[in-house]
Amino acid sequence: MTPTPPAPRNDAPHGAGAAAAADAAAGGSTGDPHSHRYAARTAGMTASEIRALFAVASRPEVVSLAGGMPNLAALPLDSLAVEVAGLIAAEGQGALQYGSAQGVPVLREQIGEVMAFEAGSTSATGGFHPDDVVVTVGSQSALDMLTRLFVDPGDVVLAESPSYVGALGSFAAYQAEVRHVAMDDDGLVPAALEEALARLAREGRRAKFLYTVPNFHNPVGVSLSADRRPEIVELCRRHGVLVVEDNPYGLLGFDGQTYPSLRSLDPENVVYLGSFSKIFASGLRVGWALAPHGIRDKLVLAAESATLCPPAFTQLVVSRYLATHDWRSLVKSFREMYRERCDAMLAALEVHLPDGCRWTRPRGGFFVWATVPEGVDTRAMLPRAITARVAYASGTGFHADGSGARHMRLSFCYPPPERITEGVRRLAGVLDGELEV
Ligand code: PMP
């Protein structure tokens, strides 16, 4: 069976009744008797291409280079089980009760240690105080809340080209107009950002924020070079544009190399997002935002209206893990594991991919971004790849306008090295077939 490729994001009409119109345009195929009731903004809520792939890509015979699931094999499950039991014994009902919308105080303090591990010291984080932190339900909920706080329908958000699919999902859900800004091997291109800002100024408009993933970018894999960082921050400040710095992969540099955060360069104009998903356990759904005080207070209000508070239990599990385990060593072992997998992928790409393909060479994180020869459409090719038992994420999911069909994201985080090699070999066979046509 070959799956039908999912529809590109944002191809539905906007405006009043757009959701119903979208359903009607699809021949009323959802059969949802409530379709005429949904708010106009739901037209932007389409299934992400990546999520739609999950079912097929997780079949055992398929090598999935599509998902971005962290590999949890190194987690010390036995000692974690002991700590979780100990947590209930020690905290009793307190671990199971409502808590502060800002997050559990002890965890907010420990987040300072995590950030200092990446930055080298607390002062290098851009100044840290537990009061500046809002604990969130993964950084995804921080993205949702920030968009809710800042974006009215039609407002502009600047984002790298391409950009993290989950962020694009939040922006679409609040009807933002996303303007993509070019990247190269050194990350976001300052001249392209300047041009986008100048164009907006000529239109008499101003972006609400720049959304950027400066370290080991999802989906491209590259990092913003150290010398570009002050330039990007300064451009945004000059044009009155807030920066949202999303940093879930910063601790996963293969050589342990880290970069100064954008926040450390301009703490009053940057909202920083961190996450325990990639350095501990994604299923606990614990992340955090560090924000200037006004924005922090609004985030707390947004959290109250969304969930009352982040779950106390999962926060305390993270807190206890940080207190009782050598988490720095675990992060180092994650780096090793991902480096080995990345090396396997890069070596296989070199050996197998046909002439005319290019790809990035990440020094951390989870992803390689590949560009295929002209004439190949990675979205159209996907069903044939699945038939050949390999899955990837087409570049189209990472652009608000559904462009990017000559690109694909290849994840090396989950399968073991020999499966990665086999997956790339299968992918190369599919590409060879496309180029013969
Ligand atoms: N930002 C980026 C760039 C990501 O890659 C992800 C996860 N794939 C997230 C945010 C969301 O992570 P979390 O699990 O913390 O919600």
> Cβ(147) to ligand 1 under 6 A?
no
Report which protein residue has its CA nearest ligand 1's atom 5.
218
Q: For position 113, what pLDDT does the model report? A: 95
CA of 141 relative to ligand 1 center, distance in Å: 9
pLDDT tens digits along 52-110: 677 777 788 999 999 889 999 899 999 999 999 999 999 999 899 999 999 999 999 99
**Residue type, position 324, single letter:** T
> Cβ(310) to ligand 1 under 6 A?
no
CA of 236 relative to ligand 1 center, distance in Å: 23
For the residues 323-352, what does the mean pLDDT come to? 97
> Cβ(277) to ligand 1 under 6 A?
yes
Share of the chain above pLDDT 70, in %: 92
Confidence of residue 50 (pLDDT cuts 50, 70, 90): low
> ipTM of this predicted complex?
0.99
CA of 49 relative to ligand 1 center, distance in Å: 16
β-pairing, 367-371 vs 390-391, is: unpaired
CA of 213 relative to ligand 1 center, distance in Å: 10
pLDDT tens digits along 319-328: 999 999 999 9
Residue located via tokens 């992918």: 427
Closest atom of ligand 1 relative to the 246 alpha carbon: 1
pLDDT tens digits along 166-217: 999 999 999 999 999 999 999 999 999 999 999 999 999 999 999 999 999 9
Indicate whether this model's pTM tops 0.90. yes
For the residues 218-226, what does the mean pLDDT come to? 97
- Residue 18 scores a pLDDT above 60: no
CA of 69 relative to ligand 1 center, distance in Å: 10
CA of 289 relative to ligand 1 center, distance in Å: 13
pLDDT tens digits along 118-133: 988 777 777 889 999 9
Q: Which range is least confidently modeled, 69-73, 148-152, 345-349?
A: 69-73
Confidence of residue 12 (pLDDT cuts 50, 70, 90): very low
> Cβ(48) to ligand 1 under 6 A?
no
> Cβ(287) to ligand 1 under 6 A?
yes
- Residue 27 scores a pLDDT above 70: no
> Cβ(396) to ligand 1 under 6 A?
no
Closest atom of ligand 1 relative to the 277 alpha carbon: 14
CA of 437 relative to ligand 1 center, distance in Å: 38
- Residue 112 scores a pLDDT above 50: yes
